[in-house]
Chain A
Amino acid sequence: MLRWSAENLQHEFNPKSIVDTTQPTGIPGGEALIALVDATMIGTSSDRSKARAWIHSEIGMDGVVMAASTYGNFEMMNRISEGTGVRASEQTRKSSAEWQKELGLDRFGKGY
């Protein structure tokens, strides 16, 4: 999905940036967005404040709100998926299987 949307927007997405934050994402504002997720999940309120300011400077206020909203949406989707055992569609899994394996993400999904 990410590769598809990046290609359509003519970005050179770097999948390794999802597992290694020292790597560039190749997506405009991508590092700031990852900083907000990290700050909210494992950081401090100061980290969150700085990440919001970073997104604001790169994408704007609507970007700050939508970044937080999208992050919240996927905290929801993760729990729906893990709590019901319903995974992403077969098509999505097939299309992302190669780089999920490359990044070691295929080990996730307890008991599937």
Chain B
Amino acid sequence: MSAPLVVSEADIRPSLRRAIGRSWNAVGKPGANWSARDRVAFAQATVDAMAGDEVQGQSRTMAFIELLAADPGAVGKDEVQLALSESNEPSLVEVVSIVSRTAAVVSLYSALGLELPSMPGAQPGEPTRDIAPEEDWVDAGAWLPVTNGQSIYFALSIVPEEFDEWVALTDEMYMSGEEMASATIFNGISRAQHEVLASRTSYLNECFY
């Protein structure tokens, strides 16, 4: 191996920086089901759990967040059912989205050796209640409903705002849906190099995905 390398935020391409900033700041806005204050608390709990620190809060939702953040491979149907006992499907989809997007940014910054941005302030306002109509929900054999078939692409689809935030982030952090059709795409690394990273990450997390 070579000598240590220092990376700065300026090394991150502008479109990726903007996508990270968008996702991070969206946590500080009221969501479809939760207040901004709740959402910021969920994101902070994710950061704390990933760092091995104590998570504030005693609810089943917080226990679910702690497990999903720190040990995603340990989450199964039972844990989701337990969290649903004090919540509902759209609320839990929003929680999964916040935990997952926060984990993405925490992981990226950690891998680059950068200091994590400070948590956004919670903006005032009521939850938007922008949820896909229940008649459009589909039981695709997952723990939570989707609005289409069994594909990871639709995992957050019953909460359109969260689906949109996820697409905006993954398009920049990984590649867009169109780019995924190409085996020869190169965006700093090759498609095969992307997949090595994906496979090793899923293996260490003991995740089937």
**Residues of A near any B CB (own CB < 8 A):** 1-2, 4-9, 11, 13, 17-19, 25, 27-30, 33-42, 45-46, 48-54, 56-57, 59-90, 105, 108-112
Residue B160 lies at the interface, judged by CB distance under 8 Å to chain A? no
| B113 interfacial contact with A, CB 8 Å | yes
Q: How far is the CB of A14 from chain B (nearest CB, A)?
A: 10
With A80-B96, A87-B208 known to touch, is A5 a contact of B112 (CB < 8 Å)?
Answer: no
Q: In angstroms, how far is the closest chain B Cβ from the Cβ of A91?
A: 9
Interface residues of B in 88-125 (CB under 8 A from A): 92-93, 95-97, 99-101, 103-108, 110-113
Q: Check A65/B201 contact, CB under 8 A, given A9-B190, A25-B196, A87-B150.
A: no
Cα distance, A65 to B19, chains bound together (Å): 14
A48 to B205, CA, bound (A): 18
Residue numbers in B under 8 Å from A18 (CB-CB): 196, 199-200, 203
Residue among A7, A29, A37, A61 with the most chain B CB within 10 A?
Answer: A37
With A50-B4, A65-B16, A67-B111 already in contact, the answer to whether A84 and B189 are too (CB < 8 A) is no
**With known contacts A8-B184, A74-B202, A111-B77, A65–B156 Cβ distance under 8 A:** no
Across the A-B interface, the 3 shortest Cβ-Cβ residue pairs? A109-B208, A66-B188, A85-B143
Chain B contacts for A50, CB-based, 8 A:
1-2, 4
B193 at the interface (CB under 8 A from A): yes
Q: How far is the CB of A41 from chain B (nearest CB, A)?
A: 5
Contacts of B207 in A (CB 8 A): 78, 81-82, 108-109
Cα distance A73–B2 in the bound complex, in angstroms: 26
Contacting B112 at CB < 8 Å: which of A2, A34, A52, A82?
A52
Q: Chain B residues with Cβ under 8 A from A46's Cβ? A: 4
B192 at the interface (CB under 8 A from A): yes
**Besides A9-B190, A64-B7, A83-B72, 15 other CB < 8 A contacts?**
A25-B196, A30-B196, A54-B2, A63-B193, A64-B11, A66-B189, A67-B111, A69-B173, A76-B107, A76-B173, A79-B72, A80-B96, A81-B209, A82-B207, A108-B206
Q: How far is the CB of B179 from chain A (nearest CB, A)?
A: 12
Chain B interface size range: 35 or more
Distance between A18 CB and nearest chain B CB, rounded to angstroms: 5
Contact B183 A5 (CB under 8 A): yes
Tell me if B154 counts as interface (CB < 8 A to partner A): yes
Q: Is the CB of A37 within 8 A of B197?
A: yes
Q: Which residue of A lies closest to B146 (CB)?
A: A86
Chain B residues within 8 Å of A61, by CB: 7, 11
Q: State in angstroms the CA–CA spacing of A105 and B194 once bound together.
A: 19
Q: For residue B89, give the distance in angstroms from its CB to the closest CB of chain A.
A: 10
Which listed residue, B13, B108, B110, B156, touches A80 by the CB 8 Å rule? Answer: B156
